[in-house]
A and B are shown apart, each in its own frame.
Chain A
Amino acid sequence: MSGAAPTTPSTSGTEPRGPRPKPFFTPKKIIIYTTLFFFSLYFLFPLYVMVVTSLKSMPEIRFGNIFALPAAPNFDAWVKAWTSACTGLTCNGLSPGFWNSVRITIPSTIVSIFIAAVNGYALVNWRFKGSEIFFSILIFGSFIPYQVMLYPLVIITREMGIFGSLQGVILIHTIFGMPILTLLFRNYFASLPQELFKAARVDGAGFWRIFFEIMLPMSLPIFVVALILQVTGIWNDFLFGVVFAGTQNLPMTVQLNNIVNSAQGTPEYNVNMAATVLTGLVPLIIYFVSGKLFVRGVAAGAVKG
């Protein structure tokens, strides 16, 4: 609250917006760029520190300059983080966690997107009594903290015999991905011309045929958005992984936390940071490759369309 006060004057550029010719270095411009520059430092600093620390040796880190560039950059810490760092009792590095995350993310993403696409399509084109009510509860329900549903879900998955297995986590991700994805697809299908659907119906096409032959081919953009949303969301999950995956299937985020926060003996900060970079790499790559689509994805997950 009070921390925001010093920075506010820069918004109130009380400069009159007159027609007077403007040189590039107006006081207003200087304030704007300086503020943006300092915020950029805040945002970039952790990335810099993460990468630089991971490339240093431990003696160099103990020298105690977090800003310094590595004297002899090497990837030893990355190799150790990947292959032999200790997570709890086992010392196989992050790689098992990485593959667990892959095994969790791929099916969860595919299943949840498919179900949500069908749901959205049914909600727009094949309404039935109560469909909107179910949908409203679904959206409302997505705001309920996961902790409220956690224990009964443990019982349900245990009864189904999938507690502590990959299928268990996949099911949970599919369930909790449903509200946002359904909303996404519902809004997208609602924006498509209805005539197309009606024409297909007149021609005698049924529910699934219209879905697979008309709707799906037209919805590639929204599939990409949903894909970005789900892959990053599921990859970054911690809570469901730690509760439902079981010790053999822990995803990368959980293993990472175990490496750093329950390390016995002397902490190896370079290995810790290398492991952190490795875990953040997948969502970062998605972010940098997908650009504006990522923004659309996360915004769609948030803004009601």
Chain B
Amino acid sequence: MADVATQQSRTKTAPHRRNFFSKLFLHNLSAKIAALPMIATVLVIFVGCTIWTVYYSFTNSRLLPRNEFVGFDQYARLFGTSRWNVSITNLIMYGSMSLVLTLTLGFLLAVLMDQKVRFESAFRTIMLYPFALSFIVTGLVWQWIMNPTLGLQGTFRNLGWTGFTFDWISNPRMVLFALLIAGLWQGVGFCMILMLAGLRGVDEEIWKAARVDGIPTWRTYVSVVLPMMRGVLVTAVVIIGSGIVRLYDLVVALTNGGPGISSEVPAKYVYDYMFGGGNIGQGLAAASMMLLTVLIIMIPWAYLEFGGKGRR
């Protein structure tokens, strides 16, 4: 960094070189002071804390962080723990279902809303209000609805439909679908809003041209409009994806990881080991794995975004 700066100043005229330090520190001094909180956040929190976490994930820290290196031991233990393996399987299962369904339903609803429907703003208000609510509220409401004795299942049984089962929340094999119902309820409206903005951004001329050519509406959506909405789609995928990796509150409120460990997720593993289990090393290793996951999602995206900008 400093090398580049000196070289640059050397190529310029002599007075500039003399002023190098005053330029680096005093030029725009107020702006630099004003930006200090941002710079500190970047260096201390986003860079510093992340490095700290990765660094200590290679130690055998238990109750307190310790500087004794154990290599990949924490990671080996992590992947030898059934709870962690269940957590990542859940995240992959829930994540892929949630991503596909949120995008599909969001797009479907946006297309429907784009057909000049009456009461559009009423429909939009209804679909988006869950997004205003916290995951805790979302989780607790659905926990009540899915209550096996007094919720939907009990209601239908009392109404005479005695074979009715909707026990997803207490059924280890179905609990992820219970999470999914609540997660979709909270997030689909927002995805719809994004997609609707994307659809409205498509030029009316495209539609006219497609109609003239006699292309069926659904074909136009799939082969013309969707590719044109690439930007919105990528944004939606990145937002939904990073939300899925962070998934925590909803699980705590809806199932608290149960029944058994069947709805555990990585974020909860991290929290429980860091603050409840007295095994910080495990928590840090799990957190580092979350970081790695996000990087795997983020790097292709960053490449597309910034690589694409140069070409345009």
Residues of A with Cβ closer than 8 Å to B? 1, 3-4, 7-8, 10-15, 17, 28, 32-33, 35-36, 39-40, 42-47, 49-50, 53, 61-67, 115, 118-119, 121-123, 126-131, 134-135, 137-138, 140-141, 143-153, 155-156, 174-175, 178, 182, 206-208, 232, 235-239, 243, 253, 256-257, 260-261, 269, 272-273, 276, 279-280, 283-284, 286-288, 294-295, 298-299, 302-304
Given A7-B108, A295-B128, A304-B235 in contact, is the A119-B134 Cβ separation under 8 Å? no
Looking at chain B's contact residues, the main secondary structure is helix
The answer on a CB contact under 8 Å between B270 and A147 is yes
B residues contacting A by CB (< 8 A) are: 1, 5, 24, 27-28, 30-32, 34-35, 37-39, 41-42, 44-50, 52-53, 56, 65, 96-97, 100-101, 104-105, 108-109, 111-113, 115, 117, 123, 125-138, 140-145, 147, 149-152, 154-155, 157-159, 185, 189-190, 193-194, 197, 211, 216-218, 221, 232, 235, 238-239, 242, 245-246, 248-249, 252-253, 256, 266-267, 270-271, 274-275, 280, 283-284, 286-288, 290-291, 294, 298, 302
> With contacts A122-B31, A143-B242, A147-B266 known, what are 17 further pairs, Cβ within 8 A?
A11-B112, A11-B218, A36-B109, A36-B123, A118-B35, A123-B35, A134-B42, A137-B47, A141-B45, A145-B291, A147-B290, A149-B45, A207-B34, A238-B135, A253-B136, A286-B132, A303-B232
**Is the beta-carbon distance between B235 and A302 smaller than 8 angstroms?**
yes
Contacts of A287 in B (CB 8 A): 128-129, 132
Known: A144-B291, A148-B53, A273-B144. A279 touches B280 (CB 8 A): no
Cα–Cα, bound, A289→B133 (Å): 15
Given A12-B218, A239-B248, verify A126-B302 contact (CB < 8 Å): no
A276→B105 CA distance, assembly (Å): 27
CA distance A152 to B57 in the complex (A): 12
* Pair A66/B38 contact, Cβ less than 8 Å: no
Q: Which 5 A-B pairs have the closest CB atoms?
A: A141-B46, A236-B134, A126-B31, A207-B30, A12-B218
* Residue among A53, A145, A260 facing the most chain B CB atoms (10 A cut-off): A145
Partner of A128, one of B27, B137, B143: B27
Q: Tell which of B133, B221, B286, B290 touches A283, judged by Cβ atoms closer than 8 Å.
A: B133
